[in-house]
Structure formats: C-alpha cells, structure tokens
Structure 1
Amino acid sequence: MPEVVTRDPATGRELGRYPAHDEAAVEQALAETAAAAPGWAATPLGERLALLRTVGKLLTERRDEYAALITAEMGKPLAESLAEIDKCAWNCSVVADLAPEWLADRPVSASAAQSWISYEPLGVIFAVMPWNFPFWQVLRFACAALAAGNTALLKHSPDVTGCALAIEELFESLQPGLFRALVIDAGRVADVSRRIILDPRIAAVTLTGSERAGAAVAEAAGTACKKTVLELGGSDPFVVLADASISAAADAAARSRFGNAGQSCVAAKRFIVVEEVADEFVAALLASLETTQIGPLARADLRDNAIRQIEETVAAGARLLTGGRPVDGPGYFLEPAVLDHVTPGMAAFTEETFGPVAAVVRARDDDHAVALANDTDFGLGCSVWGATGHALAVGRRIRSGALFVNAPVASDPRLPFGGIGRSGHGRELSAEGVREFTNLRTVAVA
C-alpha cells in the first residue's frame, strides 16, 4: 500500500509514515461529507457558530501540541508556530462574532413588494491546501465554509500530513462528517484531485498554492462548471519613497521577507526603493538581519530553487550583499540573502522567490517605482512607505488585491484577502470570504 512520509526540515530525518487513502477510503470521506451537508445546512446559524467557538477554544488549549507539530513538519521556529495557532483561534472568534451580520438577508429596493438577497449553503467544498501555514490556510477556509452551512473535504500537502489529520480529528470530535482530510501520495494527487472536483457531490473548490496547481484545479472545475477560489503566488512590491521612515521600513521589510523563512505568498519580495534613499535603506535592512532568526526551508528542492534564483540573478548583473548559501549540516537551512541592483528580467524580479531572498530594485522616482511595481503578472499585495498622503497616492497606482500604507501586508480575518492576475481570483476571510461559499440568491415577492 502506498505511504506518505513526513520529514523534519531541520534534520531531514523521517517523522512519520501514513497509509495513503485508497479509492474506497476517498469515496468514504466524500460520501460522509456529502451525507452531512443537508443536515448541517439546516442547522441554525447560531449552532454552527457555536461549533466554531469551541474549535477556537480547543485550538487555544492545545496550542503547544499543535505548534510543535507545525514546527516538526514544516520547520518554522516554535514562536511562529504558536502565533499561527493563535491566529487560527482568533479567526474562529471573528467569524463566530460577525457571521450573523455577514450572512443575514440583505433587503433591496426593487419593483417587487419585497425583495432581498440571501446567502445559502452550496454543499461540499473541496480544498487543496499548501504546507507553508498548515493550520492557518486550512482554518481560514474551513471557518468560512462551515459558518456558511457547507461541509469540507481537504487535500492537504503530504509534507504536513500530521497537521491535516490533527485538524480532522479536532472537527470530527465535535461533529462527525463535517470535515474530512484525505491522505494522498504524491504520485496520485493530480488524478485523485481531478476526479474529486468532477464528482457531482462537490459544489465548489478552493486552492491555495502554485500557479501550476491553480491552473489544473481551475481547468477541472471549469469542465464541471464549478466555482473556484484561487489564492496563488505573489511577487509583492514593497515600495520605499524618499519621505519614508527608513528605519521603520527596513525593520518591517526584514520581518515581512524573512518570516516563515520567506515561504509566504503575501510576503514582500521586491523592495523597490527610490534611489535617493536606497543606500540608507539597504544598510538598515542589512542591520536588521543581525537580529533575524529563521528556520529551514520545508524541503530540499525548495532550497535548491532559491539558490538557483540567486545564482541566476547575480549572473545577470545583480550584487549579492549577504547570504544565499546553504548552511552546513543537516536540514534545509539557507542563509538569508539580500540582492541589490536587481532589474526587470532577472529571476529574482520576474519569478516568485519562495525563500529568504530579498531583491532590492532601485527606482529613479515615484513614476519609475510605480512602473517597476506593476511590471509583474502577479497582483497579491503591495506595501508603500512614505508620508501618508504621498504613499497612498502612489499605492493607488499599483495593481494589487491589497494595499498597505506604512505597514507590511498581512491577512486579517476582518478584511478580504486575495489577488488579481496570476495571483488568483476570489477572496478569503471577512464577509466576502464567507459569501464566496454561498449561493447568492435573489428573492422577490410580488
């Protein structure tokens, strides 16, 4: 029987072996979530939200256990894993508090005597999730889907199979059938996922991951005429204007770029700095690195790809100011790298860098900074630093799903999260994220 093997990124040693689900087990999980969907949809909203509050409470009670599991399977420092669990618990509370407003019927004045919009459950939501935030990515979709009255079927990354099964156990202990997790070996992921998407019992699909995976999921969902929410890659610009607080910008830049070992779609990746303050910013960024602690990358191939991007960028004319070398010893550690004089066309500018690699791009002025920021097919987040009115005016000229002024881009359960272009479509979190998993139904009474 095929197995899924998990490994500790800090040592490379095997953590666990899990029997992969065969066709019968996949069918059972799909059948259970489909069978539970009508009853859960008919459950009063208050009871559905009470379950989310309990989930949040259990996440807090078990935060040490779950955080240790995240660190073991994915490699991030324990403090970051604890923060991830805390954020999941917070999301449960936010959805439980605000979903009554988000899902309430919305009256509309029209020609009928009465008319309104209602938000009704769809059925089973199939989710394909990545390894970089193994609890957060799942909980942010699951809270929205379950609050709206749907059930959930998860295909998580094999790298974090222990996390996937821990989340399943958490939900199953409260309400069997609402949330099931599949264990699929790497060689069968594409075929099994496609068959699940095409299954008539699946109502909609959500994916967080690579462009390649997103395209495959979108193609299958399009064939079946099913809705998708896709949160894909990013090459987020972090724009530093001449009137910015350089120390504050550099400190935020280091936190944004090197948190989670740089393995975040919404992290700042291209640091576009007006030439007038570029030398000062680079010096401050390098100084900030002295207190930066990061864990290993999640897999050896991810580290290899980051090194390739660094080497190709330097070969094209950029300067490597620090880092960029694998750390001697076990595990998949990479020294944090800062590249300067990166220009369009170079690997670190054009591609998404998913590792501890900061690319500094020098702009002549504001107009040039906007042009550089928009010189990408991605469009997830954008952070602009400068005098508030000035930075906001510049930021409004940059295409992105989110604009943060004098703050690094971050997800917040009260704000919609998602991108445009090759960064995907649809939104997660907030009212918009919960409503993504509903049938927006028009009701008119004569």
Structure 2
Amino acid sequence: MAIIKPQNAKGTRDFGPIESSRRNHIFETIKKRFQSHGFMPLETPAVENLNVLTGKYGEEGDKLLFRVLNSGDFLKKVKPEDLEEKNLSAVSSKMCDRGLRYDLTIPFARYVCANLNELALPFKRYQIQPVWRADRPQKGRYREFYQCDGDIIGTESLLSEVSLVEVYHDVFKDLKIDGVEIVINNRKILQGIASVLGVSDKLTDMTVAIDKLDKIGAEKVGEELLGRGFNEDQVSRLSTLLTLEGDSNKKLSTIREFLGTDEIGKLGLEELEFVLSNVRELGIENLVFDPTLARGLDYYTGCIFEVKLVDGSMGSIGGGGRYDDLTSMFGQKEKLSGVGISFGAERIYDVMLDRGLFEEISASVDYMIINMSDEDQKEYLQIARKFRVEGHSIEIYPTSAKMKKQMTYANKRGVKNVIFYGDAEKERGVLQVKHMESGEQSEIKL
C-alpha cells in the first residue's frame, strides 16, 4: 500500500481544539448580536442544484463554482465529439447537475420561495455554515470557508439596513477589533452614474470593473472599461469619481452634483442618506460613504456594504446589500425585497490571531483527577460528578499510570488544576488541589 502524505486539500485548513474554541467564540459572538435583533437560525444543504447557483453571481462568480460529478456513469449524456473538441461548457453541463454552495444568500432565497406560506414576513434569519469557491488560495482567501450571514426579507424598510449596520458595529466591538470601517454605497447611485455617462446598458460591465479597483488600481480599471466598450470621455469622467477625496459629506455633494436630475440616482442618494443619518443618531461613527464600492454581484439593487480594516492589513471582512428581485429567479411572482450582510469568519479569525485577541480563549479543562489507584475509580467518578454539577469541566486520567506521565499529560492538555485523592486525603475527607500555573496547593473538603 502506498504511503499517503497527510496533507490538506489546497485552500482548506484543519482547526484543532484551541483553534476550534477560538472560532466558536467568533460564531457565538455573531449569533448573540443577530439574536438580539430578532434573527432566527437557519441551515441549508452544502450541495445545491446547479440551476439554483448558476447565473446568480455574474460571469466571474460562475467560474468559481465547484461542480459535483453526477453519480454512476456521469459521461453517458456527453457526446464523443464534445470530448474530442474539448467543449468544456457542453461537457460540464451534462456531467454535473449539482454544485457546492458559493454563498448562503442564494440558498436562503430558494428556501424562502419553497416555504413562503409558512413564514411570517418579514423573515429574519442568521446562518453560519461553510461555502466553497474555486479561487486561487492566498492569505485570507480559502477555497472552503465559513460565512456568517444575516438577512431580512419581505420588507423595503430602510430600518433593516440600519439594524444590520448596528449588528456589524456591535460584533466587532464585542470581538475588540479596532480600526474597522463600514463602507456603504447604493447600486441606484451607480445606475445613475451609468445613465449620466450614457452607458446604462453596460452597468454590469461598469460595476465588475470598479469592483477590482483595490486590486488593480484606477488605471487598469480604465483599461478594462475601454476594453468593454466605454469611450475615453466616459472613462475620464468616471475616473474622476473613483478618485474622490474627503469625508462622506464632501463625496456625497460631488456625486449629487454629477447626478443632477437623474431620478434613479437621486433615489439612491436619498436611501443612502437615510441610513447614514439614522446610524449616526445611534452613535455609530464608522459608517462611511464610498462611491467606488460596487460589489460585483448581479443581484444587488440598493444599499451595499463592505467592512474593511483602516490599516489595510486584510481584505474585506464583511459585505452585503439589498436585493429587491432575487426570489423572482425561483418563480416567485410577488416581489420580496431583502437585505443581508455576511461576516468573513476566516479573515476575522486571522485578524484576531495577528492582534493577539485570543489570549483568554483556550481549550483547557478546569480540573483533572490524578488516578492514584484503579480501585478508587468509582470514587473518582463521584467526585467528578459533583464538580460537573457545579458547572466545572473535569476529567479523570483513565489509568493509574506513573505520576510523571499523568502530570505531563495535564501540562500538555492545558489542565488548570489537578486533584489528588489518595489514602491521606481519604482519611481526612479532603481533596488536594494543585494550581498548575502557580504551583500553589490548597485543600477542599469532600
């Protein structure tokens, strides 16, 4: 038998006991804040039908879908000439009917449409599950990663956006991550800009290009737009907006002047200013307007969000936006407006690790009973039971091994206190407790 190297699949990671405890801390913090706003938990399958996933994330997103081969003879529907000509599109569509979910929003929309009659609208859910993307792995970017989403569907009220910004703000405050900036824009403003430039039919081209601004810079974005059919004047006028400086109010003033009387652009400004003003009334100051925020996903129609670190040490650690017609893709005739946000749990983990914010979180156990004799195991079990009833974590070393071996295990396991219960302790009806870090010993009456 060949020896297999115990190596992870590229773009994936293991999380041991300590790492898992730290991740659970992040998840529980996010859950707590969502629950405080009335959100309910939801889970959907890892595998979705491909017709559910494709066409929802734009051209770039479709390329990153992990496809699952059909069971059995997955080549039976494939024509030999397609294989010979290497017609990947035709071959793939016949070999694969399913795929791993790309995000949690589209499966959520599918769930809503399938269960609409049972749901009380507006429906507010949070969902914490893994997603998969066939992306190039790098620092802060993985092929398998967890998303932590919250969505409100069934209302057009902008109070939903305000509530979600509040969740963002409070979660990062709870996690003690400083220097967080919540960036906001509105797709209607981008529609207005496209209209003023005379390229309304190229809105998707424009947003996909703008979404790459942080990665490739304004000059390369301009080159891409020229390649997508924009003329020099249009690119020049748009570049002026992409390089605006100053605070949110100054940028809003410039954009308002640029949009002029464009109705859809003006509506986007009104929606954005409503959210900005109400969030500030709550004492939240780190929500800022950025006209270059595009979020290149096709389904966004209103306010869009992205969470960044001011120091630029990591890419976005959250994002989301409003989607007014997403459920119509599943045959839902009644318009269901929705808005949602997502936390990038993997990146948040890396940020907290780099900043030393996990010092108080471990996978340690409060107590371990030293096994002095196999004959005393029943008594050890009774003692352990009393500690667990009081809310402590405790374990018993499974055999009466040498003391050095048991203490070595306790150190490696991260045990906080060890308990000795030998003949001397039995006679006096006490437990001898040693605090592992300080070495101090004390007695507890049995």
Shorter-chain TM band: under 0.3
The one of the two structures with greater contact order (alpha-carbon pairs below 8 A, sep at least 6) is: 1
Between structure 1 and structure 2, the one with the greater Rg is 2
TM-score (norm 1): 0.26
TM-score (norm 2): 0.26
